[in-house]
Chains A and B, each alone.
Chain A
Amino acid sequence: MDFAFSEEQEQLRGFAREFLADRYDDVRLAELADSETGVDAEVWPKLAELGWLDAELTFLDQAVLLEETGHRPLAAPYFSTTVLAAPALDDETAEQVADGRLTATLAWAEPGMRQGLLDPAGASVSDGRLTGQKVLVPDGAAVDLFVVTAADGLYAVNASDAVVTAHGGLDGTRRLASVRFEGAPARPLVTGEAAAALLGRIRDRAYAAVALEAVGVAQRALDLLVAYAKEREQFGKPIGVYQAVSHKASDVYVRLQEARSLAYWAAWCVAEDDPMARQACLAAKAHAGEAAVFACENAIQGHGGIGFTWEHVLHRYYKRAQWLAAFDGPARDQRAEVAAFLLD
C-alpha cells in the first residue's frame, strides 16, 4: 500500500503550479473569463512544449496536472481534449493532439432526451455523413474537432464542418456550445459494443478528472479563506480567532481532504483499470463536486461583503465548482448508481 505520487509526478506538479501561477494570476483569470471567447489563444503550443499533451503520460501523471488546473484554472480546452476526447481518437488525430496541433471535445447530449454520457444517442450516420443536434458541448466553440456519439458508435467530425452556436457561461473559462451536424463528413472511430465500453471508460476518466479539478478548486478557496482570516481584523483581532470563522475553515479542510483521498483513489483505479474503478469514480465525482461548492460558499461567507463582489476572484472559483458539480448530472445521480451497486 503506497498512497503517494512519485517524485517525478511531484516535480511535474511543481512545474505546473509555477507555470499556472505565473500565467494566470487572479487579474488575468478575470480578464480571460470576461473576454469574448474565454480562451487564452496563445497557451496551447506551450502545453505541448511542457509535455502536458504527451501520449505517454499515465492518468496518474495527468492527475497532478488536473488538480493544478483546478487550483489555477487554465483557460484552454485541456480537459475537453485530453480527458473527454483523447481516449476515442485514432492514431492520426492522437498524434496531432500530442504535437499541440489539434484540440478536441466530446459531443454527447441531445435536446429532448436523457443527457447522461451513457444514454443512447440519436445522431445518425449514413454514407459517412453525420446528422444530428448536440447540446452542452464543453469548449464546443474552442476546438478543432468533435468526437460525436451517434446511434451506432463514435465519430470524428471537423469543427469546420459543423454549425456551432457558442453560449455565454457562468464559468467564463469553460463555456458550453450547441452544435448542429447537417450531413457533416464523419470518420468512424469506434462502433458497436466497443463504443459503449469506451464511453464507459471515458466517463470514469471524466469523473476522476472532474474530482481532481474540484479538489484544486476547493484547495484554492480554502487558501483564500485562511489567508483572509489571518489578515482581516475586526473588534481588534484577526477574524480567524473567532470560532465562527475558524471552524468553517476546519470543516472545509476536512471535506477537502476526504475529496482528495477519493479523487486519488479514482485516478489510481482509472490508471490501473481496477475492478473498483466505476464505484471509485462515481464516489469521487459526487463527493468532490459538492466539496468544491461547499469550500467556495464558506470562503465567500468568510470574506464578508468583499467575497460577494464581482471584483474578487472567489466567484470565478465558485462558478467552476458549480460547473464541475453539475457535470453529467448532480451528485445525487452518481449516488443513485452507487446505491444500485450496494442495494440491488
Chain B
Amino acid sequence: MDFRDTPEEAAFRAELRSWLQENAPQRAVEGGRGDFEALRAWGGRLYDAGYVGITWPEEYGGRGLSPTYQAIYLEEASRADAPNHPGVIGLNMAGPTIIAWGTDEQKQRYLKPLLSGEEIWCQGFSEPGSGSDLAAGRTSAVLDGDHWVVNGQKVWSSYAHKADWCILVVRTDPDAPKHAGLSYLIVDMHAPGVTVRPLRQITGDPEFNEIFFDDVRVPRESILGRPGDGWKVAMTTLLHERGTLGFALSAELERMVNHLVDLVREEGPDGRRPADDPLIRDAVAREWIEMQSLRFTNYRALTTLLETGIPGPEGSGVKLAWSEANQRLTSLAQSVYGLHAQVTGEDAPWNGFWQYWQLRSRGNTIEAGTSEILRNIIAERVLGLPKGR
C-alpha cells in the first residue's frame, strides 16, 4: 500500500499543473449557460496538449497510459477549476464503445475528431415510454436496401442540440424477445428527418433534448456489433459510464467542497459568518469526509482495475453516494443565504452559482442510472441478492 505518486506520476502531475495554470480558462459559473464554442476550443487545446484520451490506445489518438494518469488529470483539472471537455458523451460513452465494438474503419473515422472536440456526440437511449427499462425501447430501424430507416423518439439526450453524431439504440427485430431485438447504430445528427427539440430543465436551461427520427436513412454499415447485439453493446456503454466516472465525480465534489468552504467563510448578508455556526461547521466537515471517502474508494477500485483489468466492486456505489452528497452540499449552501438565495438575476448571491447547482443536483440521482436502479445493481450483482424482476 502506498498513496504517493511514483516519480513518473509526480512528473506528469507537475507538468499538468503548470500547463493548467497557464492555459485553463475561467470556468463558467453556471454549467448549462457557458459559451459552447469557447468550450470546444478548450477541448481542442486539451487534446493538442495530450490531456484527452489519456488511457486510449495511441493508434486512435490516445496516450496509452494507465487509468492512474486519468485520475491525476481529473483531480488536477478540478483543483484548477478548469472547465470540462465538451465532448463528455463521446469521451465516456461513444468512444469506449467504438473501441470495444467498432470496425477498423469506424475507429479511424470517429475517434480522433471525438477526442479533439471537433465532433460532438450525443446518446439516444431513453424514450418517453422506456427510461430505466432500456430494453423496452420502441424506436425502430428497418432495413431498406443499403440503409436502415429509423423512426421514433428519444428523450433526455444531453448535447443533442450541439451534436454531430448519436449513439442510438433501436429495435431491428420486433418479433425477437425484448433484449434480443435491439441494435446499436451510429446516426448522423445532420441527416434529413432528425429533429432536435430542447427540453428546459428545472434550472431553466435547455441542457438536454428530445430527438425525433422521421424516416431517417442510416447507412447499413453504421452499426456497432451485429443486428441483435444492441443490448450487449449498450451494456458496454453503460458499464463504462459507471466504471470510469468515479474520479470525475469525486474531483467534482472536491471542487464543490472548496467552493462551500469559501462561501461559509465569507460574511453573509446578515453580517454573520456561517463558519461560526457549529451546525454549519459539522455539515461542512461531513461533506469533506464524504468527498475523501469517495476519492479513496475510487483509488481502491482503481488498484483492483490495474491488478485484474476489472474495476473493483466497491466503485459501484460511488455515483450513488456522490449524487446524494452533491444534493446535500448544494442545499446546505443555498440554506446559508436563507431567503436571499431566492433572488435571481444580477442581484443573485454568488452570481447564481449555488441556485444553479442546487437545482441541477436533483438530476444527479436520475441521470446515468437512477439511484433506484443503482441500488438494484449493487443488491443483485455485488451482494448476490435474488433478482426482483
Contact = CB atoms under 8 A, between A and B. Distances in A.
B378 A258 contact: no
B299 A1 contact: yes
A5 B1 CA distance: 6
Contacts of B297: 257-258, 261
A194 interface: no
B285 A1 contact: no
Interface in B297-315: 297, 299-300, 302-304, 307, 314
A241 B296 contact: no
A18 interface: no
Contacts of A343: 261, 264-265, 275, 281, 284
Contacts of B321: 254, 258
Interface in B81-116: none
A264 B1 CA distance: 9
Contact of B294 (A5, A258, A338): A258
Most buried by B among A3, A229, A237, A259: A3
Nearest to B276: A343
A242 interface: yes
A342 B284 contact: yes
Interface in B1-29: 1-6, 9
Interface on chain A toward B: helix, strand, loop, or mixed SS?
helix
A246 B382 CA distance: 11
Contacts of A4: 1, 303-304, 307
A262 B286 CA distance: 13
B292 interface: yes
B317 interface: yes
A187 interface: no
B278 interface: yes
Nearest to A5: B1
Contacts of A238: 385-386
B267 interface: no
Most buried by B among A4, A60, A342: A342
Contacts of A222: 383
A141 B102 CA distance: 69
B388 A1 contact: no
B190 interface: no
Given A250-B375, A261-B300, A336 B1 contact: no
Contacts of B65: none
B145 interface: no
A6 B2 CA distance: 11
Contact of B2 (A2, A250, A280): A2
Contacts of B382: 253
22 contacts: A1-B71, A1-B303, A2-B2, A3-B296, A3-B303, A230-B384, A237-B386, A243-B376, A246-B388, A247-B376, A249-B378, A250-B317, A250-B383, A254-B378, A261-B295, A280-B292, A283-B293, A286-B289, A335-B282, A335-B286, A336-B282, A338-B285
Interface of B: 1-6, 9, 68, 71, 261, 264-265, 275, 278, 281-282, 284-286, 288-290, 292-297, 299-300, 302-304, 307, 314, 317, 320-321, 372, 374-376, 378-380, 382-388
Interface of A: 1-6, 60, 222, 226, 229-230, 237-238, 240-243, 246-247, 249-251, 253-254, 257-262, 264-265, 268, 274, 280, 283, 286-287, 332, 335-336, 338-339, 342-344
